[in-house]
């Protein structure tokens, strides 16, 4: 290419290649069910509420992770005051920073998914909330980026948060654990331990029954 060609090329409209996430879903197919919850309520009741080992494990991990302080830097200088620091210390009127991150990590360990909602003013986040995973329904697209996140109460959609089809940016940030069999939902660690958990609970109930019946 000669010099004139280079100059001409500089004045031609620049063409950008638009890249998309890989296709994972075909409209009308059955590869994904937005109603799938991965047994969250069972994990929350039979696991967290009724099993002391699960309760202790989740609390130890979530509380330990939530206690790690965040630091904000501008270049190499650590900032003592910044809107982000204030936001992380008090994400919303009902939760301090540690409480917020405890719930984020606990939901992640229970369901494999945790959803953070950002409330913004003029594009700047001023409050952060955690949404219960069993109330979220992911609306699939043809790619790995979902169309939207639907927040449901009593099987009714009360809020819908769209996701950018190219960047995935949304008011909802989806944290998830890797799942080899689902393009959208994370895999709950409780699923891998479900058989052992059932055995432990049944043995405990059996032993209690023996004691109540005088070991007969």
* Domain extents in the chain: 40-132+172-198
Mean pLDDT of 99-105: 96
CA distance 89 to 66: 11
**What one-character-per-residue DSSP string does 132-179 give?**
-GGGEEEE--SBSS-SEEEEEETTEEEEEEEB-TTT--BSEEEEE---
CA Rg, the chain, in Å? 23
pTM here? 0.79
Mean pLDDT of 148-169: 94
Q: 190 with 110: CB under 8 angstroms?
A: yes
Edge-to-edge strand ranges of the sheet holding 156-162: 136-139, 148-153, 156-162
Helix axes 97-111 and 52-66, enclosed angle (nearest 10): 130
Helix, strand, or coil (residue 204): helix
DSSP 44: I
Q: What is the pLDDT of residue 60?
A: 96
Q: What is the pLDDT of residue 120?
A: 82
Q: What is the pLDDT of residues 128-144, one digit of tens each?
A: 999 999 999 999 999 99
Determine what percent of the chain is predicted with pLDDT higher than 70. 81
Q: 192 with 109: CB under 8 angstroms?
A: no
CA distance 138 to 151: 9
Better-predicted residue by pLDDT, 185 or 25? 185
């Amino acid at each position: 290419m000669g010099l004139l060609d280079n100059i001409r090329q500089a004045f031609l409209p620049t063409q950008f290649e638009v890249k998309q996430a890989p296709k994972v879903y075909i409209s009308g197919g059955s590869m994904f069910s937005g109603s799938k919850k991965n047994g969250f309520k069972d994990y929350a009741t039979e696991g967290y509420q009724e099993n002391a080992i699960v309760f202790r494990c989740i609390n130890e991990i979530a509380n330990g992770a939530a206690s790690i302080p965040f630091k904000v830097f501008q270049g190499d200088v650590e900032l003592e005051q910044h809107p982000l620091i204030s936001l992380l210390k008090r994400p919303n009127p009902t939760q301090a920073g540690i409480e917020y991150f405890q719930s984020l990590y606990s939901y992640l360990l229970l369901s494999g998914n945790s959803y953070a909602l950002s409330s913004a003013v003029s594009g700047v986040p001023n409050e952060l909330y955690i949404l219960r995973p069993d109330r979220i329904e992911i609306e699939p697209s043809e790619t790995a980026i979902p169309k939207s996140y639907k927040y449901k109460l009593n099987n009714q959609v009360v809020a819908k948060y769209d996701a950018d089809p190219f960047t995935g940016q949304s008011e909802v940030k989806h944290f998830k654990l890797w799942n080899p069999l689902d393009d959208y939902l994370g895999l709950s660690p409780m699923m891998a331990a479900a058989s052992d958990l059932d055995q432990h609970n049944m043995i405990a109930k059996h032993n209690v029954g023996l004691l109540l019946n005088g070991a007969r």
